[in-house]
Structure 1
């Protein structure tokens, strides 16, 4: 049995962008030998869609270096200017738009759009920005990106910007590092609420998380984060954050990155699926059956060998079934909880 699933986070657009001289549409549609996600593998895997992130990478290094060794010094990476972030963000947005024009996927602006895409077997994509550096503090770019389909924003990646501060990649540390949102960041939260743009808390520090929780009237969401009590790194959620997400009716997507799964924080692909199941157990205990989903971080992280690529998600879902989770619950974690959350945040 193949269980359909919707993925809370991938960096596939950046991987395609980094194929500088290639036909990005053809790479996605026909399939590639590298990375984790393309259309043939997604279809084979039962992946009906997901949040397609536009992550403006650091000026030095590439996605591979960030994905496999993000905790090299435990400090915040340098800030990225609006001028430096805009070309890569626009490049990834253009790839997503071209994929839609080629008929490879549908950019979905609502839960109804996702359901309609699934019904006609069209891959469903949510236009997501991870790190809002390409948005100016006058919000002109926000208006343009929203018109193009933007429906989800991670205010920060793990660095500071004009809106807030992300967490550095540190192990044996918690996310209570650095200041809260700037005035522009608080205005961005209000703007997102007004327009039905989901706010992703995954890389935001604790003070920024508190600010979003105080301002936003929508459910709190961390699309690709895990449980700090199991893997005590800054990218994972501590008890009070999980409680705030639960109380808001929000959702956490399980991150497959091995460094955010393991107790030792190592980015070691020899990480068993049983550890992923342990995080799901803890998330269910903290959030309830409506609060847990998938947020793989495909194409942006070192993932367990037992997963391998997008097709390995079925191995995780089978492990949940084998653990004794009923089929109804596994289907909620795989797809249903994202659909209901998107309905309440985006529309």
Structure 2
């Protein structure tokens, strides 16, 4: 079994929703359930040893795509008021801290801690924020979340906030869909560089990508995006963007969402693992073997049925092995590339 460190998942949002319905999020992760994608038992079964766990506050009404003969487009999701987003984010951070306190997982802020958790057979969680809607323009909340363990963030999700503009979900479409960072977004990027917080470019517009590239001193990273040349959705990266990521020593995590994998852009669990391998091949060609990892989007997307959930993680590893990736390559793809980029960003 090849242990996997995942670049992105939404398990905290699922656990928060469980708590909102009166359930026990700690027991859910510790003991396991039959829905969703990640919990402790399934992670152990599939060799998923940890990952970047996102604080993500959903919009009250998500984007409603319109479909026309195999194409689709949707408006940006509705913005969220900062106080409401902050309340939800604090609750998710609280769940993350409780899981740590109960020994269900280990909240890690260094690669030394990640490696130690893996050695101890404890799920290594890194706190991430997907869309900085909970953060105020003066960045006071950023410092508080950093103190709580936040070490990675994406300035925007697929909606607009005070820091910038996200891409809508559309196929086929360029990721160049609108403006990029605001002045507040520039200040956010500089603050992340100062603190040592990784910046995720997965949901930002192409203009926003280039804005971050101009401002940031750290490796460029897209934790859960795929190849636009194969699947031309707004969320995927162009070859030019990948060249810029490679130049900074950054990386891209393969997203398991079927609509970002299939050439037809459709959300369909009957998506073969060969589609995933094709994206990895292209990413490796343009980024090098040191610039590619896995960023599942577990609990946030429809994934191929051959994987199913975290317990099926090794199905992808097996497909990559069958495609000719050796064990040294698989170690890099499955965890060491993430450890390298995190260590560089965190100035270890």
Q: TM-score range by the shorter chain?
A: over 0.9
Quote the offset at 1:60 in angstroms. 2.4
TM-score, structure 2 normalization: 0.95
Partner Cα distance (2:95, 2:238) in 1: 36
Residue 68 of structure 2 corresponds to none
Q: Report the secondary structure of 1:127's partner residue.
A: strand
Deviates more, 1:274-283 or 1:80-89: 80-89
Residue 24 of structure 1 corresponds to 25
Mapping of residues 155-304 of structure 1, within 5 Å? 155-304=155-304
Count of aligned pairs between the two proteins:
340
Partner Cα distance (2:12, 2:314) in 1: 23
Q: Report the secondary structure of 2:165's partner residue.
A: coil
Quote the offset at 1:80 in angstroms. 1.1
Contact 2:261 2:275 in 1 (8 A): yes
Q: Report the secondary structure of 2:164's partner residue.
A: coil
Mapping of residues 327-346 of structure 1, within 5 Å? 327-346=327-346
Partner Cα distance (2:330, 2:41) in 1: 24
Quote the offset at 1:4 in angstroms. 0.4
Partner Cα distance (2:3, 2:10) in 1: 20
Q: Report the secondary structure of 2:170's partner residue.
A: coil
Q: Report the secondary structure of 2:211's partner residue.
A: helix
Partner Cα distance (2:148, 2:309) in 1: 29
Off by >6 Å, runs of 4+ in structure 1: none
Residue 5 of structure 1 corresponds to 4
Mapping of residues 26-175 of structure 1, within 5 Å? 26-60=27-61, 73-175=73-175
Q: Report the secondary structure of 2:290's partner residue.
A: coil
Q: Report the secondary structure of 1:315's partner residue.
A: helix
Partner Cα distance (2:330, 2:153) in 1: 27
Q: Report the secondary structure of 2:160's partner residue.
A: coil
Quote the offset at 1:156 in angstroms. 0.4
Partner Cα distance (1:119, 1:259) in 2: 35
Partner Cα distance (1:277, 1:72) in 2: 25
Q: Report the secondary structure of 1:290's partner residue.
A: helix
Indicate the RMSD between aligned Cα atoms, in angstroms.
Answer: 1.4
Quote the offset at 1:75 in angstroms. 1.3
Residue 13 of structure 2 corresponds to 14
Deviates more, 1:310-319 or 1:79-88: 79-88
Per-residue CA deviation, residues 143-188 of structure 1 (Å, 9 max, x unaligned), is 1100000000110000110000000001111111111211110000
Structure 2 gap ranges (5+): 66-70
Contact 2:189 2:215 in 1 (8 A): yes
Structure 1 gap ranges (5+): none
Quote the offset at 1:105 in angstroms. 1.2
Quote the offset at 1:78 in angstroms. 1.3
Q: Report the secondary structure of 2:144's partner residue.
A: helix
